[in-house]
Amino acid sequence: MDKKELALEVIRRLKKEYPLAACTLDYRDAWQLLVSVRLAAQCTDKRVDMVTPKLYEKFPSVRALAEADVGDIEEIVRPCGLGPSKARDISRCMKVLHEKYHDQVPDDFQELLSLPGVGRKSANLVMGDVFGKPAIVTDTHCIRLCNLIGLVDNIKEPAKVEKELWKIIPPEEGSDLCHRFVHHGRAVCVARHPRCENCCLKDICRHGREALSAE
């Protein structure tokens, strides 16, 4: 099968395996998702979800974070690592949201990219999860699984993987598929030790076929 047919079959099987496709970060509002995804850089979602309630208890709104001292933000988010840069980005982002967008997160991809500390991954996550628009979130799970399965060929740069996936994945499926990649990457296709024998994709996955045939 070609890559487009492979993508459709991967979507079908992962849908059956993981019926509920949802973001693994806890958030209530769009601005909170922006904060969480910035904190998640080089940090686990579990740790982020332990830190953000403390942050929102002290600063419960866009305005509160925009007016907060960066040092106070850093003190709370320090357990997530890279405290100074993350606190600075969160502060600057919230200031722009407060002053330019009246505390609302824009639903335009390019406008999201213009926000301090917001890259393509963050923008796509917000577009898909908050606004229900076509999105492909090329996080580490997505990039690793797409290369192993054979949806892309030895491409590691997030923007390039995203570009290739847009060619083969129906727009309405992108966001949920990326969430399912995360679930599958944590449960079965574990980094460095993929459990190919237990994988629902083993007969169509390039790596799975090679691994099982080598046994």
Annotated active-site residue 139? The verdict is yes
Q: Which member of 89, 129, 139, 176 is catalytic?
A: 139
Three-state DSSP state, 107:
coil
Provide the whole-model pTM: 0.92
178 and 158 assigned to the same domain: yes
Annotated binding-site ranges: 189, 196, 199, 205
Residue 30 and residue 187: Cα distance in Å, rounded? 27
What's the structural domain count of the chain?
A: 2
Among 89, 106, 129, the domain-final residue is 129
Judge residue 116's burial from the number of C-beta atoms within 10 Å of its C-beta, 0-12 exposed, 13-18 middle, 19 or more buried.
middle
Judge residue 171's burial from the number of C-beta atoms within 10 Å of its C-beta, 0-12 exposed, 13-18 middle, 19 or more buried.
exposed
59 and 142 assigned to the same domain: no
Q: Which member of 86, 89, 121, 176 is catalytic?
A: 121
150 and 202 assigned to the same domain: yes
Q: How many CB atoms lie within 10 A of CB 137?
A: 27
104 and 73 assigned to the same domain: yes
Q: Which residues contact 34 (CB under 8 A, 6 or more apart)?
A: 93, 105, 115, 118, 122, 126
85 and 38 assigned to the same domain: yes
Among 104, 129, 154, the domain-final residue is 129
Per-residue pLDDT of the chain in tens (215 residues, 90 and over written 9): 999 999 999 999 999 999 999 899 999 999 999 999 999 999 999 999 999 999 999 999 999 999 999 999 999 999 999 999 999 999 999 999 999 999 999 999 999 999 999 999 999 999 999 999 999 999 999 999 999 999 999 999 999 999 999 999 999 999 999 999 999 999 999 998 999 999 999 999 999 888 777 76
185 and 144 assigned to the same domain: yes
Tokens of 134: 């076509």
The domain that contains 78 carries what CATH number? 1.10.340.30
124 and 34 assigned to the same domain: yes
Annotated binding-site ranges for [4Fe-4S] cluster: 189, 196, 199, 205
Q: Apex CA 173: angle with CA 142 and CA 5, to 5°?
A: 80
97 and 170 assigned to the same domain: no
> For the chain, what's the residue count?
215
The domain that contains 184 carries what CATH number? 1.10.1670.10
Look up the domain containing 68 and give its range: 30-129
117 and 191 assigned to the same domain: no
Among 129, 149, 184, the domain-final residue is 129
174 and 86 assigned to the same domain: no
End-to-end CA distance of the chain: 24
